[in-house]
Chain A
Amino acid sequence: MSRTSKPLPASPAIELRGVSRRFTDPGGQSVGVQPTSLAVPAGEIHGIIGFSGAGKSTLLRLVNLLERPDAGEVIVHGQDLTRLSAPALRQARHRIGMIFQHFNLLHNLTVAENVALPMRLSGEPAARIRERVAACLDFVGLAAKADVHPGRLSGGQKQRVAIARALAPEPHVLLADEPTSALDPRTTLDLLGVLADANRRFGVTILLVSHEMEVIRRLCHRVSVMEGGQIVEQLDIADGRIPEGSRLGGWLAEFGGAAGGASSAPIEPAPHHLAQESAHA
């Protein structure tokens, strides 16, 4: 999981321009995303961290228009998704992978059928689907489980299947919504390894939402900190360091590993974190 492969800033793979999305929660409070902008260069792993209700999942879901913005532009690989017709948007979504906290696999399909699904939806030829399914299951280390149903897999294995499914159509962009929040610390580390690998080997741009500081710190090149529906801070953390005096550094001192208040179990630190781990102890 080395971060030596920090990408050169190219034209952004994902660009949000002044997007906003307002909801009213049951208590009558206005929540969601305030007018916010974000640019993620191609090849970057970008984290979004914040407390519950900060609007981070909403922001992520704006990128593939699962959530439609009230205003603003959502540009993915040069294409403003908000201006597309429904069929054109579906076409664009074929190249935007997504994984979820609760995996969202189809339980009546086998592992291989799950991975094949996005390509079947976009009408790829059967031979090509077979080839990609085999390659992607191999990549996540689950080739042996191809004919098993997801109900018989562990949480970590399910998320690996979900990653294989997201990567099968060779997406430019992978959206990850709290992908490790339902998993134990060791499984979390394994999965972060898979995501980092996918980024390195396939150059897929990753936008990841998490409330776990460790996840962000180990995986991301840059991080956006969200509060009250807005990005309040953006930091370069490609070397795994969180600058002192930043809001994120303050949280780390106050809450340890987790921004959501849940204490994270101790994770064996990767070597390049050792120095700064003690600085924040």
Chain B
Amino acid sequence: MLETLEELLPEILKATGETLLMMGICLSAALVLGGALGLLVFLTSRGQALERYRAFNLLANGVINVVRSFPFIILLVAISPFTRVVAGTSIGPLAASVPLSIAAIFYFARLIEQTLRDVPRGVIEAAEAMGASPLQIVRHVLLVEARSGLVLAVTVLAVSFLSYSAVAGVVGGGGIGDLAIRYGYYRFQTDVMLITIVLLVALVQSIQFLGQWLARRVDKR
């Protein structure tokens, strides 16, 4: 097994780099775009500051549900023409990042919307009574009171998409999961399978540990 490890080390390093690249792109897209979308969906829901834009709320909710209905591998193939336009190619880790980002944006939007619902209505109302604008409510109330939940939402997102990124192999995206499938699964190299799985387990544990530690640290409730 050590021999295999040595032999495969360059492959493993390359795969790890590809995984980190895909994760970096899709998590960034999710944080920025998915976060904003989730926030808007929350703010336009009943009883919130931008309730008057209910039409947006209904539309966005519908779109989020539709995108989240797609099994990821089907989404990956279905949007490949779009991927080609955005990434210039439909194969490789950069191309795989496009469907990963799309899925992550809508997944994270839903997570954020649900996390924000945990902020007590009364606290938001108190801020409204103080004369807070919708933007100030977001910055001074929602992001403050929900911050540990938001950290945990990012943690769940990261763990889920580490797993999703394994499917990227279908379009030559590479990554650790793809390595496991190509060597471990198709070639029956159980030792490679084990190495990659140990690597993935270690990654997931680290993400989860870091997320929970940070969430606890910022939670003063």
A binding-site residues for B, Cβ under 8 Å:
64, 66, 86-87, 89-94, 96, 98, 100, 102, 104-109, 117-118, 120-122, 149, 151, 169, 175
Contact = CB atoms under 8 A, between A and B. Distances in A.
B123 interface: yes
Contact of A120 (B128, B140, B147, B218): B140
B125 interface: yes
Residues of B contacting A: mostly: helix
A104 B126 contact: yes
B144 A106 contact: yes
A89, A118, A121 — which one has the most chain B CB atoms within 10 A of its CB?
A: A121
A84 B160 CA distance: 48
5 contacts: A90-B133, A96-B129, A104-B122, A107-B220, A169-B130
A151 B120 CA distance: 15
A117 B123 CA distance: 12
B125 to A, nearest CB: 6
A91 B133 CA distance: 10
Contacts of B141: 106
B126 A98 contact: yes
Nearest to A109: B144
B130 A108 contact: no
Contact of B221 (A86, A89, A107, A120): A107
B128 to A, nearest CB: 6
Contact of B123 (A89, A93, A106): A106
B126 to A, nearest CB: 4
Interface in B111-137: 120, 122-123, 125-133, 136
Nearest to A114: B126
Contacts of B218: 108
A117 B129 contact: no
A96 B128 CA distance: 11
B136 A121 contact: yes
